[in-house]
Structure 1
């Protein structure tokens, strides 16, 4: 994780939210009583996730808070005493999407079934290199020993690159994890947005599953569509010490299903608690931790919710594109620096 040049649900998030440059965003201090559903959340679960990356947060205000977090016996009181809720972005509606860690079928050797390579980054790649189409059509990476594994589905491999990390269940029974190892320097382009531009779907119809199904039904056009995204991601093998743990996020720590979100770090400090009020189907009121980033995660009111790994998580993540709002919990001193007149 960490780079995640769009990640699965953000393929169509870009259709609705192409992103914006950093600007002066309105900032407002709230009270915990303003947070819808705050009292009903499992604050202990949020605190456990917060502790996994607390020591990695930049800023002098965080060190004493982390020390207190390690000895806290009342999670809700801990957050209410040491933080203040800060709404960044005013009344601009949030956009929530979801992402997950895919699991592919693969082999250590190329076979008739497993014939699509998962590549390490070649040493000559610096800056902007060959595009996705040029890499795949030229065979420039073939026969160089750069293959980590071979998988059986080019569409799932494409989406693995968008997610930035995943698991590969090998034919010999092993499971390996691959993480982001670099890219070719080209900007990510949303193929979901391209399907809408071509008039194939309306924006509200586009989801990860819809895109995958269309590409599989139209293999030649689907290959051309995937080439519309010139960005190409290389991987590295990541040791799995505990298969139950999530992939590494932007802070190089394992992330937690339904407690980790990816954010825009220009507005939300990595490692900070964030209260989300996601509306739409399956509304969610929950204290999350900002432990990841993404190429399509742009703006103060923008978050990607991590749903876990495997097909079930993928189905849940691939349908999320909901409005709402997100409120960052900041240490008291930092909150008042952000909102000096409060």
Structure 2
């Protein structure tokens, strides 16, 4: 059964030693009237993922907070609200969902270091589709790798609590841990990890890595005609370097030309330099294969739940705890047309740092990619937190 259809566990009393948090530099109380477009957002689209979110949060009640995972919303704060959510019909109207959220939740505006409402940046990501084969041959020359057997992921939070959530990647060189291989080093035949698939276009393969997940339709060979999901599993620990900036710095493209489409056109004109361009970015993402059980569902985010187009956001979990409903006020990609939506903080990203900085999941396929590629808009953010439970806070 889908997450949202499963019954929620019963409420668990908050332990006496975990009182609600009472203050935070990141938030200030707000009113529903301050949320632009709140009354016109079709919030019924949030309900199914909201129930799945509730279940995921409450199942964490009583578990110690992980030192390595992103900070999750305090599950005790959500006990009563999530219990009350079970009383609504399975497919409530927008008015019913709006009334429920207004009754049970309190909006908190996300503040900047000066105590003012933060203006951040909203970008967007999506789930691309690539054409691939299980076997290398012909046009299918661009690998998407599984996790190498010798990749070490070291959780610094288990050694130093002040570094909770921080990890480093590397490999053993004798008794020393050294940085893992760069993109160009991984390409050496003796270093290549197993490839899950081979893709027919280098730019498609590269941008699937940038997105961190995607689907591959198998054009030839074993499984021909089927579609699999390539889900993020790990990375080699090197920082991402923009190949668009690399092309601009060398005078190959202007800033206005350095879009996904412009990079693709450059690669077609310069096939002999494609590897040189790709290797300018030392970072490599590794994947695991998943079945696509429901084509309408997105990939799983950092909470392990399927992402919902326009209703799932990647956030900075050091400010907005994962699992928290939020209200985002921004504009449509490359436009001044308002985009005001109630959403869920369900994912994270290496570039998503700071108050009101969000990455909106736009969905699957080329059309979603076209929109996501143009999204770089100013944003404001409100966290929606249960009334009477203090300010938004992570599990402790």
- Give yes or no for TM over 0.5: yes
Give the direction of change, closer, same or farther, for the CA distance of 1:197–1:62 in structure 2 (3 Å limit). Answer: farther
SS of the counterpart of 1:333? coil
Match of 2:195 in 1: 147
Residue range with higher mean Cα deviation, 220-229 or 199-208: 199-208
- Report the Cα distance in structure 2 between the residues aligned to 1:252 and 1:32, rounded to whole angstroms: 30
On the 8 A contact 1:102/1:314 being kept in 2, the answer is: yes
Give the direction of change, closer, same or farther, for the CA distance of 1:78–1:173 in structure 2 (3 Å limit). Answer: same
Match of 1:88 in 2: 110
- CA drift of 1:192 comes to 3.6
Give the direction of change, closer, same or farther, for the CA distance of 1:195–1:54 in structure 2 (3 Å limit). Answer: farther
- CA drift of 1:252 comes to 0.8
The 5 A counterparts of 1:147-186 are 147-171=195-219, 172-186=224-238
Match of 1:288 in 2: 343
Q: Greater share of helix residues, 1 or 2? A: 1
- Report the Cα distance in structure 2 between the residues aligned to 1:208 and 1:140, rounded to whole angstroms: 31
Match of 2:328 in 1: 276
Match of 2:181 in 1: 130
On the 8 A contact 1:177/1:238 being kept in 2, the answer is: yes
SS of the counterpart of 1:297? coil
Match of 1:117 in 2: 143
Match of 2:44 in 1: 44
SS of the counterpart of 1:91? coil
SS of the counterpart of 2:196? strand
Residue range with higher mean Cα deviation, 166-175 or 182-191: 182-191
- CA drift of 1:200 comes to 5.7
- CA drift of 1:273 comes to 1.1
Per-residue CA distance 1:275-299 (angstroms, 9 max, x = gap): 1111351420111111111111111
The alignment status of 1:256 with 2:308, answered yes or no, reads yes
Residue range with higher mean Cα deviation, 245-254 or 277-286: 277-286
Aligned pair count?
A: 312
Per-residue CA distance 1:289-341 (angstroms, 9 max, x = gap): 11111111111111111111111111111111011311111222344477xxx
Match of 1:224 in 2: 276
Residue range with higher mean Cα deviation, 60-69 or 202-211: 202-211
- CA drift of 1:79 comes to 0.9
On the 8 A contact 2:309/2:362 being kept in 1, the answer is: yes
Match of 1:71 in 2: 87
Unaligned stretches of 5+ in structure 2?
Answer: 1-23, 58-72, 90-95, 153-168, 171-179
- CA drift of 1:108 comes to 1.7
SS of the counterpart of 2:240? coil
SS of the counterpart of 1:72? coil
SS of the counterpart of 1:63? helix
- CA drift of 1:219 comes to 3.6
- CA drift of 1:198 comes to 5.0
On the 8 A contact 1:262/1:303 being kept in 2, the answer is: yes
Give the direction of change, closer, same or farther, for the CA distance of 1:235–1:84 in structure 2 (3 Å limit). Answer: same
- Report the Cα distance in structure 2 between the residues aligned to 1:167 and 1:262, rounded to whole angstroms: 20
Per-residue CA distance 1:16-64 (angstroms, 9 max, x = gap): xxxxxxxx95532110000111001112111222112222234110122
SS of the counterpart of 1:150? strand
Give the direction of change, closer, same or farther, for the CA distance of 1:39–1:209 in structure 2 (3 Å limit). Answer: same
The alignment status of 1:101 with 2:117, answered yes or no, reads no
Larger Rg computed on CA atoms: 2
- Report the Cα distance in structure 2 between the residues aligned to 1:93 and 1:218, rounded to whole angstroms: 40
Match of 1:12 in 2: none
Unaligned stretches of 5+ in structure 1?
Answer: 1-23
- Report the Cα distance in structure 2 between the residues aligned to 1:83 and 1:198, rounded to whole angstroms: 52
SS of the counterpart of 1:95? strand
